[in-house]
Amino acid sequence: MNIKPLRILELTFAGLTAELKQRYGKGKYHAAAVYREVYRNGNSDFSGAYEFSKSKKFLSELEKDLVFDPGPVVRTKKEGDLVKFITRLEDGLEIESVIIPMATHKTICVSTQIGCRMGCSFCETAQLGFRRSLTVAEIVGQVYSAKFVFDLEVRNIVFMGMGEPLDNFENLIQAILVMQDPRGLDIALSHMTVSTVGKVEGIRRLAALNWPRLNLAISLNAPNNRIRSKIMPANLTDSMDRIKSALLKYPLKKKGTFFIEYVLIKDVNDSHKHAHELAQFLKPLPTKLNLIPYNPRSNSPFKPPSDEDLDRFRGWLVDEKLFVRRRSAKGRDILAGCGQLGNRQVLRLPDKENRMK
Ligand code: SAH
């Protein structure tokens, strides 16, 4: 007898088919029905599907083993049409995800861990410390909820929520495989972006998968190792030079680019000299740079840049022939902006500093 639960949110169509075969001697026909009901129709009760009308015994066995667990969405916060939603997990911990309105579609910003162990000094999530990595079902569940609880056409996914995706490598990869399954959520690899502090081992493992269509973003945030190591301790292990050589070997698609995230922090990384150093560093790499205004975290030692600071820095980079986009400060007011995810409640810490009531 099989006692291991069959977690539908962790399985590709091929994976589910293999499980049905091994466990019950069934196959594609029923897997297709389950997959369609769950992922296409948002219907976790597939007992009404015609494929099961003549296999009631199998249906009841399957219903016993199958686990469907996106977790309840327990709170939402809105700013304009940007939504932050919080999901409660089986162990009572909570995760935050953000639905970002774009011109023609929605982008979902997904968490991969509860807390984070990268320790970046400007990031709210890092201040909470690390609790645990998310399971495949918990990662996929966020996108599932965005689609069916909020009734959205989800097209893009960015792994830029809480945590470091490459610090949860296997689950991240399986979640990507599940979410891109054409019979299920059907989100193209080219519409997913993995964002990392630059964990070189993870970048190499990603490279080995040879998925040139998956987008890779590096949170660089500094023009040189001295500044970067001060604000991002991960740089002490994986310096900018190591990151650069890993990127130079990465299998990009033809005319593909890396995305570079640069959080502009007043008086830390925002001078003309910094812009020049940054441009020199990026020269050998095909990149698009996202300039993100620093969102002050709680008890922040840093100051955000003014609009003029941002425009000036951007101008210097454009003079250096870099491709630069300015990321808006959307979501700041509901603490859904970059680097603002996480609150004491999600980690069940004492309530006193809880910022999200
Ligand atoms: N750990 C991954 C995924 C998190 S993405 C990574 O670092 O890429 C979160 C993004 O928000 C990163 O680009 C990070 O540099 C940025 N960020 C963190 N704190 C921020 C803050 N206070 N204001 C603006 N951006 C921030």
**Distance, CA 131 to ligand 1 centroid (Å)?**
18
The predicted structure's pLDDT at residue 1:
54
**Distance, CA 56 to ligand 1 centroid (Å)?**
50
How many CB atoms are closer than 10 A to CB 297? 22
- Tell the burial category of 151 from Cβ atoms under 10 Å away from its Cβ (0-12, 13-18, 19+): exposed
Which residues 6+ apart lie within 8 Å of 295 measured at CB? 304, 329, 332, 337, 338, 339, 340
What count of residues does the chain have?
A: 357
Nearest atom in ligand 1 to the alpha carbon of residue 195 is: 8
Which string of DSSP letters, residue by residue, matches 160-203?
-SSS-GGGGHHHHHHHHHHHT-TTTT---GGGEEEEES--HHHH
The predicted structure's pLDDT at residue 352:
40
- Strand 215-219 vs strand 192-196: parallel, antiparallel, or unpaired? parallel
Residues with active-site annotation: 338
Nearest atom in ligand 1 to the alpha carbon of residue 167 is: 1
The predicted structure's pLDDT at residue 42:
93
Q: Looking at residue 100, what DSSP letter applies? A: E
Tell me the chain's radius of gyration from C-alpha atoms. Answer: 21
φ and ψ at residue 68, rounded to 5 degrees: -120, 110
Nearest atom in ligand 1 to the alpha carbon of residue 221 is: 15
Strand partners, 75: 86
Query: Distance (Å, rounded) from C-alpha 154 to C-alpha 125?
Result: 25
Does residue 83 sit in helix, strand or coil?
strand
Q: Looking at residue 72, what DSSP letter applies? A: -
Alpha-carbon 229 to chain mean position: 24
Residue nearest to atom 13 of ligand 1 (CA): 219
The predicted structure's pLDDT at residue 309:
96
Q: Tokens for 193, please give them.
A: 């972006």
The predicted structure's pLDDT at residue 344:
58
Query: Distance (Å, rounded) from C-alpha 37 to C-alpha 255?
Result: 38
Which string of DSSP letters, residue by residue, matches 311-327?
HHHHHHHHHTT--EEEP
Q: How many CA atoms lie within 13 A of 257 on its CB side?
A: 13
Nearest to 40 by CA among 156, 187, 139, 193: 187
Q: Give alpha helix (H) positions in the chain.
A: 13-24, 28-35, 56-65, 124-127, 136-148, 169-179, 200-209, 225-231, 240-248, 272-282, 307-319
The predicted structure's pLDDT at residue 296:
84
The predicted structure's pLDDT at residue 351:
44
Contact 160, 113 (CB under 8 A): no
**Distance, CA 338 to ligand 1 centroid (Å)?**
5
Q: Tokens for 45, please give them.
A: 């009760």
**Distance, CA 328 to ligand 1 centroid (Å)?**
14
Residue nearest to atom 3 of ligand 1 (CA): 160
Instruction: Please state whether the predicted TM-score (pTM) of the whole model is above 0.75.
Output: yes
Q: Tell me, what amino acid is at 7? A: R
Positions in the chain short of pLDDT 50: 351-357
Residue nearest to atom 8 of ligand 1 (CA): 196
Query: Distance (Å, rounded) from C-alpha 276 to C-alpha 282?
Result: 10
